[in-house]
Amino acid sequence: MNRDAPVRSWFTPGLIGLHTFAVVAIVFCVVMGLWQAGVYDDRQVHEQADKRAVPRVELTDLWKADSPFLKTYNHRPVSFEAQFAPADQQIWVTGKEQDGRSGAWLVAPVQVVGGDTLLLVRGWAPEPGALPGVPAGTVPVRAVLEPGEKNAGAFDPATRTIGAVRIPTLINEMPYDLYSGFAISTDADLSGGLEPVPPPVPSDVPWTTGLRNLAYALQWWVFGLFAAFMWWRMSTEIRSASRAKVA
């Protein structure tokens, strides 16, 4: 009995052509799948870059008075000129963590030139305390917009504290027409000696961005598996037919 016969049966002229075609087809499907997966990754990276590289705009050009806070305003860098309300109208927003520490935000109402009153986060402190003074006159402000928060709890006028920057609650406590969102100052000079609050980082791009390319990648890999299956099936049938003829 020739022990090499089973091995040689895989390399008959007919099967060599089938092997070659299968290898080419499988490699092609794998490469195409990797290419589509790469396109998907590029889409994710580009979308994230677009979200982070948002140009700073004038607040009054972006957001009109009495207009709702739109999703496109979230984390948007803005600049504007404003006058601070009296220092005793500032509030402390408790339960704010920074660098692993629990503390409070100092929030000041500022009258935007050409707009409404905006609540501005000036800085962070380990605990509420005496309200620092405010800048005099009209000052330039650079900040990042944020939507109003929820679950504020009650406002305590004695300590000027509240649990969140909840606009519907605070609008009843202040004699101003407030914007429906607030802003976090990026100017250390306006912090009142407190620690600056780093603006939130834009959220990650959802995995569904570029989903079509990811689906194409999976489709190509399925084609590759199907090609491998068909190669195995056809090769087995050809070898079985050859053995039957010999018998």
Domain termination residue (choose one: 159, 190, 221): 190
pLDDT digits (tens, 9 = 90+) for 85-97: 999 999 999 999 9
13-52 and 211-246 are packed helices; what angle lies between their axes, rounded to 10 degrees? 170
Q: 131: phi > 0 → left, psi -120 to 50 → alpha, else beta; which?
A: beta
Per-residue pLDDT for 145 more than 60? yes
Counting the structural domains of the chain, the total is 2
For 235, the domain range is 5-50+207-246
Nearest Cα residue to 23 out of 235, 231, 237: 231
pLDDT-derived band at 106 (thresholds 50, 70, 90) equals very high
Instruction: Please give the pLDDT value at position 3.
Output: 52
The percent of residues above 70 in pLDDT, for the chain, comes to 85
Give the CA-trace dihedral at 138, 140, 144, 147, to 10 degrees.
20
Q: In terms of domains, do 162 and 91 share one?
A: yes
User: Does the residue 202 lie in any domain?
Assistant: no
Instruction: Please give the pLDDT value at position 45.
Output: 66
pLDDT-derived band at 1 (thresholds 50, 70, 90) equals very low
Q: What is the pTM of this model?
A: 0.63
Q: In terms of domains, do 227 and 168 share one?
A: no
Q: In terms of domains, do 100 and 183 share one?
A: yes
Instruction: Please give the pLDDT value at position 236.
Output: 84
Half-sphere exposure of 218 toward its Cβ, with a 13 Å CA cutoff?
6
pLDDT-derived band at 199 (thresholds 50, 70, 90) equals confident
User: Does the residue 174 lie in any domain?
Assistant: yes
Q: In terms of domains, do 88 and 173 share one?
A: yes
Instruction: Please give the pLDDT value at position 185.
Output: 94
Per-residue pLDDT for 2 more than 60? no
Q: In terms of domains, do 160 and 110 share one?
A: yes
pLDDT digits (tens, 9 = 90+) for 45-59: 666 655 555 688 899
Q: In terms of domains, do 82 and 157 share one?
A: yes
Q: In terms of domains, do 82 and 186 share one?
A: yes
Q: In terms of domains, do 156 and 239 share one?
A: no
Q: In terms of domains, do 126 and 163 share one?
A: yes
User: Does the residue 68 lie in any domain?
Assistant: no
